[in-house]
Structure formats: structure tokens, C-alpha cells
Amino acid sequence: MSNVSELREQFNRLDEDKDGFITLAEFKAYHSRESKGNMNESDIAKKFADIDSDKDGLVTFDEFIQANKR
């Protein structure tokens, strides 16, 4: 179980331009780096859509926390 400060750190790593939102492009860049090519684009997009609960194409810190609570 991650605590909020760990999640914040992880969120900041994903949010490369530090605008407070994770875009699909940032999410893809992170996961293709981290998985070293083991995750394909559609898996990553699916995971992103799952976290983006209001489907506005941006993951906020709130959505990120909710997704990690499940």
C-alpha cells in the first residue's frame, strides 16, 4: 500500500512538464521507458483510460490516487 507522498513522487515522475496533469503522451513515454518495450501502446492506452476516470484525456493527481487505491 503506497502512501500519498510516494504517490506524489511517482506522479511527478510521470508529469514530465510539471503542469499538474499526466497526458497520454507523458504516460506512454514513461511506460515505454520503464517497461523497456514490454508494454505495447494499446496496453498503455488502456491503462491510461482506466486511470482517467472522467475521460478528459488528462490524469490529475486525484484520479491517480483513486486508481492506486483500488
Q: Which residues bind Ca ion (CB under 5 A)?
A: 15, 17, 19, 52, 54, 56, 58
Q: Residue 19 or residue 50: which is nearer to Ca ion going by CB?
A: 19
The CB-of-40 to Ca ion minimum distance in angstroms stands at 22
- Residues 20 and 60: beta-carbon distance below 8 Å: yes
The CB-of-66 to Ca ion minimum distance in angstroms stands at 10
The CB-of-48 to Ca ion minimum distance in angstroms stands at 10
Name residues whose C-beta falls within 8 Å of residue 67's C-beta, 6 or more positions apart in sequence. Answer: 50, 51, 53
Give the Cα separation of 36 and 31 in Å (integer): 8
